[in-house]
């Protein structure tokens, strides 16, 4: 069983993690409600509040609520944004008390199964003219993630880890998300970007993924098993990511974006 999230470890690369959140938000356009009420916005998988802060700054006066399943992350978010509302919910079954003008899910839905029904369901929760904005890591086939699965399946920790690779769902193709939403939406925008992050060392890359994708693999392990796993994994990362001209390692991080507007 995985432990709760570690906000401090997650925030270690906060600027890099927030960059796609900014890029996603840049494609969101919202008109003020005609009846004069505040915009209703939900940040699904708000984490430590870095993405929620973007929403509060972009839409002053809006009713912004952060949603997460991690108490540790929510505590961090509340300390960061004491004037904002944060609630604990499971995104898979979450239902808002009123129709939102924006459902914003940055690096969240890859942890939730059943996208064929989940994404249209979230879209259907929107108010007329509302926007669903989603960003998901699309890096399961990058060396970082291929190697964590390889190490998990070959070491003495194999039985302890079990099916950790299934914790994070295999997301759909870009075309599939377009096909799910385009028949329902007034506007649908989908794109894929591979960010390139210069990293100081193989250990820095391992440190990055320890805050997210590596958690289901190492959290169930004993201290001795975890040390062995990380040593093997770090060695393989060093072989897969070679130093560039400046001595740094270039971590490619593909991400998939979806923005769809409900008809008015």
Instruction: Supply the mean pLDDT for the chain.
Output: 92
Contacts by residues 215-220 (CB-CB < 8 Å, ≥ 24 positions apart): 215/2, 215/3, 215/5, 216/2, 216/161, 216/164, 216/165, 216/167, 216/168, 217/148, 217/151, 217/152, 217/161, 217/164, 217/165, 219/1, 219/2, 219/3, 220/1, 220/2, 220/160, 220/161, 220/162, 220/164
pLDDT at 1: 44
- Determine the pLDDT at residue 35: 86
Q: Reply yes or no on whether the pLDDT at 57 is more than 90.
A: yes
pTM for the model stands at 0.89
| Chain segment 174-206, per-residue pLDDT in tens | 999 999 999 999 999 999 999 999 999 999 999
More confident residue, 44 or 11: 44
Residue 163 confidence class, pLDDT cut points 50, 70, 90: confident
Higher pLDDT, 30 or 10: 30
pLDDT of residue 55: 97
What's the pLDDT tens digit per position in 69-102?
A: 999 999 999 999 999 999 999 999 999 999 999 9
Of the candidate ranges 26-35, 97-106, 233-242, the one whose mean pLDDT is the lowest: 26-35
pLDDT in tens, 102-138: 999 999 999 899 999 999 999 999 999 999 999 999 9
More confident residue, 257 or 219: 257
What per-residue confidence (pLDDT) applies to 8?
Answer: 57
pLDDT band, residue 212 (cuts 50/70/90): confident
Among residues 75, 53, 16, 23, the alpha carbon closest in space to that of 208 is found at 16
């Amino acid at each position: 069983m995985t432990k709760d999230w570690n906000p401090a470890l997650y925030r270690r690369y906060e600027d890099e993690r927030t960059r796609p959140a900014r890029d996603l938000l840049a494609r969101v356009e919202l008109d003020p409600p005609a009846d004069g009420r505040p915009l209703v916005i939900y940040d699904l998988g708000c984490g430590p509040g870095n993405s929620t802060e973007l929403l509060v700054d972009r839409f002053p006066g809006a009713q912004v609520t952060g949603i997460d399943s991690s108490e540790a992350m929510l505590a961090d978010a509340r300390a960061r944004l004491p004037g904002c509302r944060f609630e604990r919910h499971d995104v898979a079954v979450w239902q808002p008390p009123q129709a939102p003008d924006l459902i914003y899910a940055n690096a969240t839905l890859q942890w939730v199964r059943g996208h064929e029904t989940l994404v249209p369901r979230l879209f259907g929760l929107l108010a007329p003219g509302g926007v669903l904005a989603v960003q998901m890591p699309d890096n399961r086939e990058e060396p970082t993630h291929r190697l964590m699965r390889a190490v998990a399946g070959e070491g003495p920790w194999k039985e302890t880890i079990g099916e950790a690779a299934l914790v994070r769902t295999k997301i759909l193709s870009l075309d599939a998300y377009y096909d799910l939403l385009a028949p329902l939406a007034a506007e649908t925008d989908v794109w894929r970007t591979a960010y390139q992050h210069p990293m100081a060392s193989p250990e820095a890359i391992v440190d990055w993924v320890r805050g997210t994708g590596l958690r289901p693999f190492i959290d169930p392990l004993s201290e001795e098993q975890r040390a062995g796993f990380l040593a093997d994994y770090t060695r393989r990362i060093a072989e897969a990511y070679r130093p560039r001209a400046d001595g740094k390692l270039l971590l490619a991080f593909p991400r998939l974006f979806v923005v769809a507007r409900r008809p008015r």
